[in-house]
Amino acid sequence: MKFSLSILMFFMFAGLMSCKKNYLDVSNELAGGLTSTDQVFDNPAYTRRWYANVMSGVADYSNIINGDGLGNPWAGMSDEIANGFGNVVNYNISPKNSLNMGFHRWESLYQLIRQANIFLEKAKPIPATGTDADMLDDAEFKQLKTNVLFMRAYYHYLLFEQYGPIPIATTVVEPTGDLDLPRQSVDEVVAFIDKELTAIMPLLPQTAITDELFLANPTKGVALAVKAKLWMYAASPLLNGGYAPAVSLANKDGKKLFPAKDQTKWNKALAATKEMISFAEQGNYELYKAFTNGVLDPEKSIYDLFQVYNKEIIWATSKNGWGGMDGDALDRRSTPRSEPNGLGSTAVLQELVDDFYMKDGLPINNAQFLPASPLYTEAGKSMYNGVNVSNMWINREPRFYNTVFFAGRKWHITNREINFYKGSPNDRSGQSTVSGYLLYKRFNRKVHKTSPGVASVFRPSIVFRLAEFYLLYAEALNEVEANNPDVLKYVNLVRERAGLPKLELLNAAIAGNQALQREAIQRESRIELCTEGQRYFDVRRWMIAEGNDGKNKQGGDFYGMNMDGDATTFFQRIIVQRRVFETKQYLYPIPYNELEKSKLLVQNPGW
């Protein structure tokens, strides 16, 4: 791959001159007289700025509205939400080709990988040169170097997650050198990332960081999390012989990029997820639980989890706010138009609404692994927090109420009843939801423009949390040893925090049945991790994105409430978006401009 493409060639020459603009103000210093990157690494302040930029590519899953490939457009590109961000809408409804695909991670991550490699090659301890002079001592340098090594491995993982087999970049190629790199095979990429993570793990902080200044730094737990997810991808059908069009894909020299199915990879995935869980259970991480009068409070647990740093969080980015009520991000786009500064347009799809359980732990419709709940009905209305709302939203589980803001519900602080039918203050005559629902998850309920005027509230943007790894461990164990009771144990731990009964108490036949347990795990992941940036990738690695009996489909008709209806007919399900999904979308295409400049890169199947 000729990184003379927008990545390498630009950053080779510009690494000395124009590229300086990408190094967090180091550019200004270079413009002031520095002529090479060598001079950057003779200065402690410049070195730290370079390092800070290398660390800047952590995925930000809070950025649902207008993010790039390192944000979270993925929630709107899966069967979770529909938002008004034009590029996401175009992705969903338009035919795809390698020219019109946005949200690439390719260029930005290879740029950061290149900067990491320059740091690793040129950075060094810097002694003080005078009284009170700054310095970069050996201990600090070793910490920075370790973190950069981790980030390089993590960036390769993020590329692997999106594109499958990728080029591995570990050296700095000079402008006169060969900048063209081929893709390495799935197995080579996995082996490389695994080896890198294993080597640096002993050098990272061995326990969770509690110092607020360093909460976003990688730790051993973070490295274990990346390793666990890496092996789950490697073992899953998409990259383990299950994607037929890819099995024959080869580089131009004939080297195969995708492996045949290897069931033993699930053993490696199990070992990696078990290592993560064991580390967590040594007092490092735990599911967050809140109690009221000594009794588990599921609703408070689920809400508070996303509001403050807590022991469930393995890694989170440091954020000053989420756009707030004066910005154009999640907070404002989740606030109904009838509230001051509201631009409520982040719409939860009916498919996600219908997948939440009832409070008895059963689904609203029959599933293979559980029968339908007798509590569910769409007829009539009942009281919810002092207002009459449709019975389809009554007696739902706590995660539903934390995620979905539905018609008739009261907005926090003002206690105004919010409706979306035609003629109501939040109908389609202005900024509005297309489905009749708004996303409420992660919203801080102190945020309100005028009452009392709290425009923004800090909370962490979670990258990894323990509940995800409980479910990943259960998934891997189910593929290796389905009759092991720990499969259901770890799924039930997640359900218990949500106030739901154990699965085997609802259907004894599920215990030890691999197919039923697999479906239960996938459903639990769908609910627990919804809109956290995982669903898009999960349905692909599981290879269920084309749908099964109308479930899990990523293309076709998607539903919501009837926004053109009156106060009565609003409650009819109607099609709100018709999406296009083709088999080739299981993997992202290599950017077209990269292929044009490379003699070695080959494209993913179908693109």
The string of DSSP letters for 193-260 reads: HHHHHHHHGGGS-SS----GGGTTS--HHHHHHHHHHHHHHHHSGGGTT--HHHHT-B-TTS-B-SPP
Helices (H), 481-591: 486-497, 503-506, 514-528, 535-541
pTM, rounded to two decimals: 0.94
Q: Read off the tokens for 71.
A: 């944000």
How high is the pLDDT of residue 163? 99
How high is the pLDDT of residue 35? 75
Q: CB atoms < 10 A from the CB of 132, how many?
A: 5
Per-residue pLDDT reduced to its tens digit, 1-53 = 333 323 332 333 333 333 333 322 344 445 456 678 889 999 999 999 999 99
How high is the pLDDT of residue 103? 96
**Exposed/middle/buried for residue 479 (C-beta within 10 Å: 0-12, 13-18, 19+):** buried
**Exposed/middle/buried for residue 304 (C-beta within 10 Å: 0-12, 13-18, 19+):** middle
239 CA to centre of own chain: 19
Q: CB atoms < 10 A from the CB of 97, how many?
A: 12
Place of tokens 């891997």: 476
Q: Are 563 and 421 in contact (CB under 8 A)?
A: yes
Q: How far apart are CA 473 and CA 467, in angstroms?
A: 10
Q: How far apart are CA 112 and CA 110, in angstroms?
A: 5
Per-residue pLDDT reduced to its tens digit, 255-281 = 999 999 999 999 999 999 999 999 999
How high is the pLDDT of residue 209? 87
Q: Which residues of the chain have pLDDT under 70?
A: 1-34, 130-131, 174-178, 319-321, 548-549
Q: How far apart are CA 536 and CA 533, in angstroms?
A: 7
Domains belonging to the chain, first-starting first, are 8-70+105-219 (1.25.40), 285-460+477-541 (1.25.40.390)
Q: What are phi and psi of 602, to 5 degrees?
A: -120, 150
Q: Are 355 and 526 in contact (CB under 8 A)?
A: yes
How high is the pLDDT of residue 14? 37
> Strand 404-405 relative to strand 438-439: parallel, antiparallel, unpaired?
antiparallel
